[in-house]
Amino acid sequence: MGRQVLCVDDDPLVLQVTRIALERNGYQVLTAADGIEAIARFERDRSEIALVVLDWLLPGLTGEEVVPRLMAIDPEVRILVTSGQYCASVLSVVVREGVYDFLPKPYSPAQLIEAVEHVLRLRKLAATA
């Protein structure tokens, strides 16, 4: 598994800033603007993708709907969820779904890189049976 990251966000500016930050730190970046595109890209390129950075609040399919679909494709997928809505209910769903970590928005490039590198070293937050 390489240093390729799939970034999923419906905000083009967030995608651009995320891409730049990751590329400056040696990562190759794929992007998707919604959940359907993210699932298709992941299905096609999963063997190359080390991590998915996934916005929780997407139009159409939400992060909550995308996570189990990505995990159905690859149960070992590493997912870092991001969201501007940091609340206990979102965090509990993220943990229950077996996501690796949560990064609240807004985040700095340094916080993003730290979270990505942390997730690449971690085991899942939730124990899976």
73, 95 in Cβ contact below 8 A? no
* Residue 17 forms part of a structural domain: yes
**pLDDT value at residue 87:** 64
Burial class for 89, CB neighbours closer than 10 Å (0-12, 13-18, 19+): exposed
The reported pTM is 0.89
Distance (Å) of CA 74 to CA 28, 47, 119, 124: 20, 9, 16, 14
**pLDDT value at residue 129:** 39
Q: Which amino acid is at 120?
A: L
**Chain mean pLDDT for the chain:** 88
Res. 93: pLDDT tops 90: no
Across the range 98-118, mean pLDDT stands at 92
State the total domains in the chain: 1
* Residue 128 forms part of a structural domain: no
pLDDT digits (tens, 9 = 90+) for 32-88: 999 999 999 999 999 999 999 999 999 989 998 999 999 999 999 999 999 887 666
* Residue 98 forms part of a structural domain: yes
Burial class for 108, CB neighbours closer than 10 Å (0-12, 13-18, 19+): exposed
Across the range 92-102, mean pLDDT stands at 79
Across the range 95-117, mean pLDDT stands at 90
Using DSSP, state whether 82 is helix, strand or coil.
Answer: strand
Which CATH number covers residue 92? 3.40.50.2300
* Residue 127 forms part of a structural domain: no
Range of the domain at 75: 4-121
Tokens (6 digits) for 25: 């730190």
